[in-house]
Structure 1
Amino acid sequence: MDLTILYRGPLASCDYDCPYCPFAKRRDSSEQLRADRACLDRFTGWAAGQTGDRLSILFTPWGEGLVRSWYRRALVDLSRLPHVRRVAIQTNLSCRTDWLADADPDTVALWCTYHPGQTPYDRFVAKCRDLADRGIRHSVGVVGLPEHLDAARRLRADLPAHVYLWVNAAEGHTYDDAEADRWTALDPLFPYSRHPHASAGLPCRTGESVVSVDGEGTVRRCHFVRTELGNLYDGSYRTALRPRPCPLAVCDCHIGYVHLETLPLYDEFAGGVLERVPARPAHGPTFAAPRGGMRLP
């Protein structure tokens, strides 16, 4: 079985203080960190034993995972397993990058977010260049707030040409066409992020070939639908995997709507869905963008 897993354990602490994030500068207690490590170790052990399946794994922690040694070790160990096709993590890249020397660069990948005002610009760009020098697949992006536009333009100019710069529409912010065009000039796929996608009743890969797993092993179709499908560790989730329509009115997060079958994003990101790396050059003439300046339904 080919299975994509979005894992989110109890970790909720972050070393940044972004005003648009509810987990900014949150600190987990020592007990909470030990619990998170135990959950991650259990998940990694389970994944290692699934030799009859082909797994793709994306870690989507509420907090910053890579400042914790157990997340770095998990990515290294999982990347070395022959039945793991891809292992990736969402990160602010505040950690060092030398640990990646032990990972398999054909399997490991990073989804990096730049947060202006939270880290020195030159330091962040230097880490991105180090990833490129190491041959580590990665994307880099920003939240599309008006005050981030100049930093995003500078970032696009300074990143290696092959590195995709994505832009997430800021929650609660309305983009007029002129503003949306400015962001689309940096990220041709920004129109997919501009408006929530109508999703009710539409086919989605979540719940069939894509699932969400929490620290206790509870399996759900995705992070945004709370209905449980079973448990990872007793195998009860397997009988619940099947095609199913989305039960929500809209889907407004990339890690959700990328799996909608009505959108062409599996083609756009073929081979790089988890790390948000397009199959084609992000600024080449063949790079597709949705028409009309809006998200497609």
Structure 2
Amino acid sequence: MLTLLYRGPLASCDYDCPYCPFAKRRDSTEQLRADRAALERFCAWVADQDEDLSILFTPWGEGLVRSWYRRALVALSRLPHVRRVAIQTNLSCRTGWLDDADRDTIALWCTYHPGETPHDRFLGKTAELTELGVRFSVGVVGLPDHLDAARGLRAELPDSVYLWVNAADGHTYSDSDAADWTSIDPLFEYSRHPHRTRGRACRTGESVVSVDGDGNVRRCHFVAERLGNLYDGSFRDALKPRGCPLDVCDCHIGYVHAEQLPLYDVFAGGVLERIPAEPVWLPMPRSAPA
């Protein structure tokens, strides 16, 4: 099975997170049209294939506020050879459209941004996903100002929902800091330190590839070398086992595919949506009844 990490030209977002370079960015009408056309071309290619595929959309901006992303996920989820289709999202969109999707195939990777959305509103959205029977994970960026909000979210989410924590770019965690975040996400240590990967085996470039809006195929989002193009099929001859050319990998969508780590076993059946096969977290203490 081939896994595709698709990132088109969309770069606009409805949030203004201070740690994100794409905060409150606006794409022009022409840029949005180009993104829509690129996505529709990609979906047409997927529909025309006869091999099993898994797809993760990783837009720079927020995709689900755009109708063409919602339509794409629904349509792809209903294709018999698409085993999983997922997207990274801030969950600011409405959720009713998911009623048309195949629940066995679609999944969401949701990020909670304290300060950009009220806690109760975000929690309500997750409850809607649960009611709809949609698979999802929830996560936060591990900034000190987010710790209390993350604890509150973990305490109120169902125990069945995994809450992951991404180490913040450029932030160093003391052992005490890390313990706080690990009490929320026992897998936080995988994110805390970059992984040394140069020369080591990785599934990217063999069974996992990155695709941009023009169909250019690379082994992953973080390696610039082009393997070929999706639409002329030239990428297929380049698919093979290969060592990582980078010194380190510090992003989950990259290192999850590193063969030196056990994460394909940890996330078996939920690699793209970041859902562990078995619960790895402990329930947070609930408030005592009044």
Q: Tell me the equivalent position of 1:49.
A: 48
Match of 2:106 among 92, 96, 108: 108
Counterparts of 1:15 and 1:283 in 2: how far apart (Å)?
31
- What's 1:279 paired with? 277
Shift of 1:135: 1.1
Which secondary structure state, in structure 2, belongs to the residue aligned with residue 271 of structure 1?
A: coil
Show CA shifts across 1:17-36 (max 9, x none): 00000000000000000000
Which position in structure 1 is the counterpart of 2:158? 160
Deviations 1:134-163 (A, max 9, x none): 110100000000000000000001111100
The one-letter amino acid paired with 1:135 is G
In structure 1, C-alpha distance between the alignment counterparts of 2:135 and 2:237, rounded to whole Å: 34
1:295 corresponds to which residue? none
Query: Who is 2:12 aligned against?
Result: 13
Written as runs of structure 1 = structure 2, the 5 A alignment for 1:65-84 is 65-84=63-82
Report what 1:62 is aligned to: 60
> What amino acid is the match of 1:192?
Y
SS of match in other structure, 1:6: strand
- 2:14 maps to amino acid: D
Question: What per-residue deviation string (whole Å, max 9, x for no partner) do you get for residues 185-242 of structure 1?
Answer: 0000000000100000000000000000000000000000000000000000000000
Distance in 1 (alpha carbons) for counterparts of 2:69 and 2:30: 17
- Structure 2 portions without partners, runs of 5+: 284-290
Q: How does 1:94-243 map to 2 (within 5 A)?
A: 94-243=92-241
Aligned residues: 283
Say whether the 8 Å CA contact 1:18–1:115 is kept in structure 2: yes
1: CA distance, partners of 2:238 / 2:156: 46
CA distance in 1, matches of 2:230, 2:192: 34
Residues 81-111 of structure 1: CA deviation (Å, up to 9, x unaligned): 0000000000000000000000000000000
Mapped contact 1:79–1:103 kept (Cα < 8 A): yes
Write the distance in 2 (CA, Å) between the matches of 1:215 and 1:240.
19
Alpha-carbon distance, 1:281 to partner: 1.2
Percent of matched pairs sharing the same residue: 77
Q: For structure 1, which runs of at least 5 residues remain unmatched after alignment?
A: 286-297
Aligned equivalents of 2:28 and 2:118: distance in 1?
27
- In structure 2, what is the Cα distance between the partners aligned to 1:158 and 1:234? 48
TM-score w.r.t. length of structure 1: 0.94
**Alpha-carbon deviation of 1:283?**
2.1
Q: 1:91 aligns with which of 86, 89, 92?
A: 89
- Aligned pair 1:22/2:21, yes or no? yes
SS in 2 for 1:143: strand
CA RMSD of aligned residues (A): 0.8
Runs of 4+ in 1 over 4 A off after TM superposition: none
Task: Name the aligned partner's letter for residue 175 of structure 1.
Answer: Y
CA distance in structure 2 between the aligned counterparts of 1:28 and 1:72, rounded to whole angstroms: 18
Equivalent in the alignment of 1:288: none
Once residues 274 and 13 of structure 2 are traced to their aligned partners in structure 1, the CA distance between those partners, rounded to angstroms, is: 22
Task: Give the C-alpha shift of residue 117 in structure 1.
Answer: 0.4
Output the amino acid matched with 1:110. Answer: L
* Shift, 1:13, TM fit: 0.1
TM-score (norm 2): 0.97
Whether the 8 Å contact between 1:163 and 1:282 is mirrored in structure 2 is: no
